[in-house]
Amino acid sequence: MSNVFLPLTLLALLTQSDNQRGEEAARQERLQYMKDRAAEFTLLGEGGREPLKLKEESVLRWTNPERERGTWDGATFLWLDGQRPVAAISFGIRRPKDAVFREHTSLTQSPLICRKGDAAVWSPQTGGGAPRVMPAAPPPAQSAAGRLTQMRSLARRFSAACTYKENTS
């Protein structure tokens, strides 16, 4: 029995490994597709002269595999003004027909113009959260690790709740 079990076990492991490689390759192809779509857009900041830099790598890769008709792959990219993020563009691929959707978000109070070719596809006049000073926040740490620790500490000060309208009918 053990003579048969070992080859079958090895075959199952190799098949699983091949499937995982195939899934990872498909995931990387979808990411490249979303990168290519993001690169089709040009974002112009205040004044509309110089295009802002699109960060080549996604800052967030996400999925929602729980829902049969949900988004099963997505990525978010940032446009930068120097080191500061100015706007984000997110792409998602939804089931069941692999429909692609996109969303834009402004992270600045300044007007923006987003173009695809010659067409303006998004032009918020204002947006994003207004910068505010956090009470009792320390000055930013010198190191990236120190700033990350500070951000996590500050994030613990926030909370959220969902409220649903009651059905009155």
Q: Is 115 domain-assigned?
A: yes
149 occurs within a structural domain: no
The answer to whether 72 touches 137, Cβ cutoff 8 Å, is no
92 pLDDT higher than 60: yes
HSE-CB at 159 with a 13 A cutoff on CA atoms is 2
How high is the pLDDT of residue 134? 84
Residue 70 included in any domain: yes
Return the pLDDT at 94: 82
Count of the separate structural domains present in the chain: 1
pLDDT at residue 9, rounded to an integer: 61
Q: Is residue 157 part of a domain?
A: no
The pLDDT tens digits for 120-152 are 999 998 877 777 788 888 899 999 999 999 999
Domain range for residue 76?
A: 2-129
Rounded-to-integer distance, Cα 63 and Cα 70, Å: 9
pLDDT grade, residue 160 (50/70/90)? confident
Between 1-5, 111-115, 154-158, 162-166, the lowest mean confidence (pLDDT) is in 1-5
Which pTM value belongs to this model? 0.70
- Per-chain mean pLDDT for the chain: 83
**What sign has the CA pseudo-torsion 56, 119, 44, 106?**
negative
Is 90 part of any domain? yes
Query: Pick from 61, 115, 121, 122: which is nearest to 91 by CA?
Result: 61
Give 41-91 pLDDT, tens digit per residue: 999 987 667 899 999 999 999 887 666 665 578 999 999 988 889 999 999
4-27 confidence digits (pLDDT tens) = 566 556 556 556 555 667 778 888
Tell me whether residue 150 is in a domain.
no
Q: In this structure, is residue 152 part of a structural domain? A: no
What local confidence, expressed as pLDDT, does residue 1 receive?
A: 45
Instruction: Please report whether residue 139 resides in a domain.
Output: no
